[in-house]
């Protein structure tokens, strides 16, 4: 068996999202034989632990294994940017979580997304970029500050398998942050350049609400794989979500999907369902803008409890709301993979 034979076999493996086989799509970087019965395949897959890319890898092993080959795989997507020019040279995917307005549960979505990706097996960093109202450390019960190395690099603390960085670690608990745009830009740049993040599959960045200095700094300096826009079903929130959508569009940043938070409330006493903030607003918004709906998260008091007590509900295997967050994490990872494979 030679390389052409292997490529013919790999032509049977379909990409479930892009609608063609992985050879025709250019997703096979290299085929290298290691003896008569062993072959190494390098695939252009960029979303580790996403269900669809995992399925592609499994099918590659199955197709070649059926021919008696011992298969080893690696994955790499060349974005064309030299490592020395990258802000996060060892981070595969940067996912921004944004909202047009406050009060829609954006930080809750960011924390549960990051924890969900980590629970899937991915190496994850969670960066709380809300300079003025950082609350991620409380939501993951993290009070250990970062350590400093001899060369003045920060070593982020870890919780639930996630590496964490937040302005809350660097200022007093009750100290207000009163900074103008240039200072915000400087501090943010230092926070993501002077931190030893190590190798990460996903960096989840929790942005402050709105379309201000932090968002512009991020989009102008960091290669964002894609954004998740958080909204509630109500029209007021959707109006502001449009502003966020337009902001990412102006900076040619893909939107991985819309996350509808605080959807239907299921009464624990009567068992009835109530649309406190309206119904299906996120779905309509996604369809209107030809965007995927990555998740619809119920209005659940346990989400608030988990946030206050520092244990993300996505880690609760017995919770329906936790299951909704896990589905959202899988959808976001799948959509990040689509963006990377299309490049």
Tell whether 38 is in a known binding site.
Answer: no
Distance of alpha carbon 106 from alpha carbon 112, whole angstroms: 10
Tokens of 14: 């379909």
Other beta carbons within 10 Å of 271: 7
| 101 annotated binding-site participant | yes
161 is in an annotated binding site: no
Q: Is 102 annotated as belonging to a binding site?
A: yes
The helix, strand and coil proportions of the chain, stated in percent and rounded to the nearest 5, come to: 35, 25, 40
CA distance 216 to 52: 32
Q: Which two tokens stand for residue 202?
A: 């996903």
Check the annotation: does 106 bind a ligand: yes
Nearest to 116, CA basis, from 53, 57, 160: 160
The answer for residues whose C-beta is within 8 angstroms of residue 262's C-beta and 6 or more apart is 104, 105, 232, 233, 276, 277, 297, 298, 299
**Contact criterion met (CB below 8 Å) for 11 and 43:** no
103 is in an annotated binding site: yes
Is 105 labelled a binding residue?
A: yes
Q: Beta partners for 14? A: 21
Q: Is residue 310 a known part of a binding site?
A: no
Residue of 89, 17, 10, 88 lying closest to 42 (CA atoms) = 10
- Give the annotated binding-site residues for ATP: 100-107
Numbered residues of the known binding site: 100-107
């Amino acid at each position: 068996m030679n390389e052409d034979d292997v490529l013919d076999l790999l032509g049977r493996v379909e990409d479930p999202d892009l609608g063609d086989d992985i050879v025709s799509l250019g997703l096979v970087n290299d085929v290298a034989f290691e003896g008569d019965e062993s072959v190494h395949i390098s695939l252009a897959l960029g979303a580790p632990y996403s269900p669809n890319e995992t399925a592609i890898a499994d099918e590659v092993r199955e197709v070649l294994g059926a021919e008696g080959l011992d298969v080893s795989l690696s994955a790499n997507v060349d974005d064309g940017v030299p490592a020395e020019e990258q802000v996060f040279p060892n981070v595969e995917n940067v996912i921004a979580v944004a909202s047009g307005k406050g009060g829609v549960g954006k930080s809750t979505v960011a924390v549960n997304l990051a924890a969900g990706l980590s629970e899937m097996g991915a190496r994850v960093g969670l960066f709380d970029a809300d300079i003025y109202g950082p609350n991620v450390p409380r939501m993951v019960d993290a009070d250990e500050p970062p350590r400093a190395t001899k060369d003045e690099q920060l070593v982020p603390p870890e919780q639930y398998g996630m590496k964490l960085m937040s302005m809350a670690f660097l200022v007093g608990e009750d100290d207000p942050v009163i900074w103008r745009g240039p200072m915000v830009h400087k501090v943010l740049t230092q926070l993501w350049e002077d931190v030893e993040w190590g190798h990460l599959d996903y960096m989840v960045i929790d942005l402050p609400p709105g379309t201000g200095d932090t968002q512009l700094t991020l989009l102008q300096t960091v290669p964002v794989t894609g954004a998740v826009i958080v909204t509630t079903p109500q029209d007021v929130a959707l109006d502001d979500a449009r502003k966020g959508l337009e902001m990412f569009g102006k900076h040619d940043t893909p939107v991985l999907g819309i996350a509808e938070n605080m959807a239907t409330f299921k009464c624990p006493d009567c068992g009835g369902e109530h649309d406190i903030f309206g119904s299906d607003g996120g779905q309509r918004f996604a369809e209107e803008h030809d965007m995927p709906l990555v998740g619809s998260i119920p209005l659940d008091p346990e989400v608030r409890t988990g946030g206050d007590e520092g244990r993300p509900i996505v880690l609760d295997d017995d919770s329906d709301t936790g299951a909704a967050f896990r589905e959202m994490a899988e959808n976001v990872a799948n959509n990040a993979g689509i963006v990377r494979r299309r490049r």
